[in-house]
Amino acid sequence: MEAPTTYLIGGNLRKSLLALLFAAPVLTHAAGSAIITLEMPVGARQLGMGEVGAAVADDATAMFYNPAGLAFGPLADEWRMSYPAESKNAPFFTKMAARSKNGFFAKSELWAGTAQGILRYDGEQWVDYHSVTLQGNAKIKDAVKVYVGTERGIDEYTRQVKKFNDIKSAEEESDVVEVKMPWNLVVNDTITAIIYDNRTEKLWVGTPKSLYRFDGKAWKNYDTELGSRRITALENQGASLWIGTDNGLFLYRNGQFEQKGKVLPSQKINSLVWSDNRKELYVAVEGAGVARLIPKKSVNDKDRWSLFTEEDGIMDLNPKALAVDSSGHVWASHKEGLSHFNLHKWEQIKFEGNNINDISVDRKGAIWIATDKGVWRHLPDYATASGRKAELERGTAEAEDDVKADDEWTHYHSGNGLSVNKVWAVLPQGNDVWFSTASGMEQYKDADYQLTAFYEKLLPILNIPDLYHLYGGLTVPMGDWGTLGFSVNFVSFGSTVVSGDIDADDLVAYNSSEIVGGISYGTRFPGNIGIGLSIKFFYSDLSSGAAAGEEEATTFGYAFDVGILKKALLLDRLNFALVLANIGPSVYYVDKTIEDPIPLTWRIGLSYELLALADYKWIVAADYNREVVYDDSKGDPEPFYIACWKSIAHPERGGHGATAAKNSLLQGVFNVGTEFIYANTIALRLGYLYDDVGQRSEVDFGFGFMISDMLQFDFATIRDVGENDGVRDGQMRFGMLFKF
């Protein structure tokens, strides 16, 4: 009697496919587990580190390795202390300036003025120097001469630079390629004003005694042109720079300084802000109020000044800081409140019993207000799309009466993000907001969306063109709620040729593939603990293209992962992860009596950051993956809550006591890896994988390029170092990460 074709397709075909892959082997499965795609590791970054990822779950591939990684930055919105200050009695960080991303490949930067000079944040670390590469036969003294912009005192400057770089001899100097020039070599005073001009790519810095400019190579001091004045405010207006001092307002244009505002009743300037909407300059004048300047447009024209005082509705005559929002409205901070100019009239918002120290506006139009009692984020209704539409429909006069009806106020303090309540300065930069607090520099990291893609051709030694693996993932930050993720994992097994029945000579080719789609969620709990959940739905088709009348070997099912990630376990930079993956019911393809479990797996991970320096970041990590499928005495799969421990207690190789423990341990896969990142631009990776059951011993190599704040490319490959011929030898993986 001939065996039915469906048995050959549903049984023999599935076994032949999985035997091919297991013998390869791509993964180590228990003898009867199905849906190999549930365990196909993803991400060229992780695969270049020996396939570790449970405790290094900080990009969009976290949905596969450990969904608890979605609870932390950079995948989730996060508060963090970026640079602690030693003293809490006075602001260590006095002023801030940002370089915004002016192109797809650009990187953002942040400069912070301190009581002792300048610090720069490069996206990862704070640095107190500027790096200079020596060209040709140039010596350190030559580079210093360019950097300081003068030959006066050059020997002393050179001595300081050599000491800063720990260069003690001529032999050591001859080996130097890159020299670190300390920022405070030229500017070593309290920073009273700082601004970065994106158009000219120049950094302007004010101190109690002078004005400085850094063009990326050299400093220039304007004490001769401007005199010894305390610089209080700096503001850009196209090709012009407005300079506020304690003794006058100045305009710098085309290399010339011109004093403005001599008609003002006071020459002490507290703050400046330029309104692109109105083409006007607003000036906070100590003891006089807020002045408005419409600059002259030609040499024959005249500057037009007006002055707003208490009679016009401002709170007092001593405004401290100014800001212009996305609608052109002007905001002035005072000791205990705000004055708001809606382009028609001034209104007051009082903060009784509280000092307002700074005010700024983010790109969404929200007003950030730094005070002695935390920070307020105020999003006026008119700044929202619906509010602007309603204002146009109602008319301006009616809108003024209702402007506060739907305004949004959010208060951040030591109980919900900040380390302390005392905030001296605030600066939104892109998606982030920076705070100079009594504890130092703090950052609210508004996480980007992350989109990742991954491709690898499987088993290159077999040269099967349609045997490949694809993965795509998207993470969506949800504010205080955590992060949501969506992923697709697809494997094409290529074509498998089988006979239609036992006696027939004709051959039939079947295309086989599996796809897994998932939804993940991670959220954070106190104590630096994150938990995550992934729900996955899979479809496996092992006989696509079956002839008419034949039953296809397909199955559909679901699984879910649960994970935990503990940051700073015992040590500050030590992370621990525990994941139970692929929890779900068994599946069958054709015959309901033949069920196979899905690959229930424990993942345990550790990662430690060895270096966290300005230009270098180095982490090491290790994972242990143990599949815990277990059959009962009848050969039926045990439920996950029994299999997850019984498979460990009773390994397939058997044994008792220490032997059983050893056999159980060796039934898993060991992964170790490291990643070294230089200047937040280039990443080098190395890893090792050991699988005793699958007889795999592999070394992984990888590298990555961070082209901008938004785009990263990764590559990894495998080299087999075991005694058996590894069919994964030379297998290459490609990955991409896009943030938006």
Mean pLDDT across the stretch 592-619? Answer: 89
- Among 20-29, 198-207, 387-396, 500-509, the range scoring the smallest mean pLDDT is 20-29
Query: Could you give phi then psi for residue 241, rounded to 5 degrees?
Result: -125, 125
Cα–Cα distance measured from residue 98 to residue 121, given in angstroms and rounded to the nearest whole number: 9
Give the E-state strand segments of 526-573 in sequence order. Answer: 529-544, 554-566
Cα–Cα distance measured from residue 731 to residue 638, given in angstroms and rounded to the nearest whole number: 35
The fold adopted by the segment(s) 5-76+461-739 is Porin (2.40.160)
Cα–Cα distance measured from residue 104 to residue 330, given in angstroms and rounded to the nearest whole number: 31
Cα–Cα distance measured from residue 194 to residue 47, given in angstroms and rounded to the nearest whole number: 43
Mean pLDDT of the chain: 87
Q: Can you say how many angstroms the Cα of residue 551 is from the centroid of all Cα atoms in its chain?
A: 48
> What is the SS3 assignment for 641?
helix
pTM: 0.74
Model pLDDT, residue 29: 43
Residue 631, both tokens: 């059959």
User: For the segment 523-552, what is each residue's pLDDT rounded down to a tens digit?
Assistant: 999 889 999 999 999 999 887 765 555 667
Model pLDDT, residue 449: 94
Q: Give the DSSP per-residue string, 448-478.
A: PPEEEEEEEES-GGG--TTEEEEEEEEEEE-
Domain extents in the chain: 5-76+461-739
Pairing state of beta strands 193-197 and 423-429?
unpaired
91 pLDDT exceeds 90?
no
Give the E-state strand segments of 628-710 in sequence order. Answer: 669-678, 682-691, 696-706
How many CA atoms lie less than 13 Å away from 610 in the CB half-sphere?
10
Residue 410, both tokens: 């959010």
Cα–Cα distance measured from residue 581 to residue 562, given in angstroms and rounded to the nearest whole number: 6
Cα–Cα distance measured from residue 211 to residue 194, given in angstroms and rounded to the nearest whole number: 10
- Among 22-31, 74-83, 285-294, the range scoring the smallest mean pLDDT is 22-31
User: For the segment 273-308, what is each residue's pLDDT rounded down to a tens digit?
Assistant: 999 989 999 999 999 999 999 998 888 889 999 999
Cα–Cα distance measured from residue 552 to residue 554, given in angstroms and rounded to the nearest whole number: 6
- Among 179-193, 528-542, 605-619, the range scoring the smallest mean pLDDT is 605-619
Model pLDDT, residue 5: 35
Q: What is the dihedral of CA 457, 460, 463, 464, to 10 degrees?
A: -40
Exposure string of 373-383, with b = 16+ CB inside 10 Å and e = fewer, is bbbbbbbbbbb
Residue 250 has a CB neighbour count (10 Å cut-off) of 23
Residue 369, both tokens: 């207000």
How many CA atoms lie less than 13 Å away from 76 in the CB half-sphere?
27
User: For the segment 127-163, what is each residue's pLDDT rounded down to a tens digit?
Assistant: 899 999 988 888 999 999 999 998 889 999 999 999 9
Label residue 143 left, alpha or beta by phi (over 0 means left) and psi (-120 to 50 means alpha).
alpha
Residues 573, 608 contacting (CB under 8 angstroms)? yes
Residue percentage of the chain with pLDDT more than 70: 88
Residue percentage of the chain with pLDDT more than 90: 59
> How many residues are listed for the chain in this entry?
740
Residue 363 confidence class, pLDDT cut points 50, 70, 90: confident
User: For the segment 387-411, what is each residue's pLDDT rounded down to a tens digit?
Assistant: 666 555 555 444 444 445 467 899 9
End-to-end CA distance of the chain: 63
Model pLDDT, residue 19: 46
Residues 35, 513 contacting (CB under 8 angstroms)? no
491 pLDDT exceeds 80?
yes
User: For the segment 326-343, what is each residue's pLDDT rounded down to a tens digit?
Assistant: 889 999 999 989 999 999
User: For the segment 194-223, what is each residue's pLDDT rounded down to a tens digit?
Assistant: 999 988 889 999 999 999 999 999 999 999
| Cβ-Cβ contacts under 8 Å for 680 (sequence gap 6 or more) | 107, 122, 123, 124, 617, 706
Residue 547, both tokens: 């002839």
